Structure 1
Amino acid sequence: MPNEQFLARQEDRRSGLRALRAALLKAHKELITLNRAEYERLYGPVPAGLFVQIVTEEPYFRWLDPLSRLIIEIDEELEAPEHHDQTCRAVAAATEKLFGPQSEPAFRERYQQALQDESGVIVAHGQLMKVIGQLKQLA
């Protein structure tokens, strides 16, 4: 039977992963909102029901795929019965890499532009960096 300290660590890790997921979703939402406005300036208004399909299929939004994949990876980890230090470190490192200077050029360029263009992205980025630091301390 697991001891209380083990269970507490598991809950801390799970909470950290959930916080990271929430911060990534906030950044994703801000980026989608910004890019939707840009897309609609170029191509005209898009009905809400069609927009989800456009985001998943249109090359204009492909640069967001690494962020979407990272969120899916965290979702899968949250489904696991236990969370390990190594996993928390790996997720934090993958997030830092994605939002850092060594990320994929297509993502990095568009993300840096979004940081300059939209205050909501700046706020989401700050929260994301805070959560990464907290998760790294847990690991």
Structure 2
Amino acid sequence: MELPVASAEELQRLEVARTLLLKVHRALLEAERVRYEKARGRIENNSAFLQLVINDPWFDWLRPMAQMVLLIDERTSDKKSPLGRDEARALLDRARALLKADPDGDAFQRLYADALQHSPALAVIARQVSTVLRG
């Protein structure tokens, strides 16, 4: 028995969520760059920053966000194995769980909660993505 594929509405919701997750990720990168530079000095340029994001453990906590966006990209573009309705809902649930700011949670949740406290712009974007993820 074949499982029902995700509806156009569910795919659209995932696309909007993905776009907003990218905005959150960019805002987190900007906030983390400021925090890093305060602690360790100015980063020379964007190329050096990219290398730090990829290789420096300081930025490891941001990986779950990037992985979530990549997972949405992979599953929504897979023509051989179309995204199922249940999987689409599960992706939205995972994204919602990831963005749970919790001072007592895992590394991402703790640092995300801290970033939300220090960046009003990030808080606005986070509210938008939360609304989309709730449906």
Q: Under a length normalisation based on structure 1, what TM-score does the superposition of the two structures give?
A: 0.83
| Greater length-normalized contact order (CA 8 Å, ≥ 6 residues apart) | 1
The alpha carbon displacement at 1:89 in A equals: 1.1
The alpha carbon displacement at 1:104 in A equals: 5.5
1:70 counterpart = 2:62: no
Tell me, in whole angstroms, the C-alpha distance in 1 between the residues paired with 2:120 and 2:129: 14
The total of aligned residue pairs comes to: 127
Tell me, in whole angstroms, the C-alpha distance in 2 between the residues paired with 1:59 and 1:71: 20
Which 5+ residue runs of structure 2 have no aligned equivalent?
none
Identical aligned pairs, as a percentage?
A: 27
1:27 counterpart = 2:28: no
Q: Counterparts of 1:119-134 in structure 2 under 5 Å?
A: 119-134=120-135
Q: Counterparts of 1:46-85 in structure 2 under 5 Å?
A: 46=43, 47-81=45-79, 82-85=82-85
Which 5+ residue runs of structure 1 have no aligned equivalent?
1-5, 135-139
Aligned-partner SS, 2:107: helix
Q: Counterparts of 1:104-119 in structure 2 under 5 Å?
A: 105-119=106-120
The root-mean-square deviation of aligned C-alpha atoms, in Å, is 1.9
Q: Under a length normalisation based on structure 2, what TM-score does the superposition of the two structures give?
A: 0.85
CA contact (8 A) 1:98 1:104 kept: no
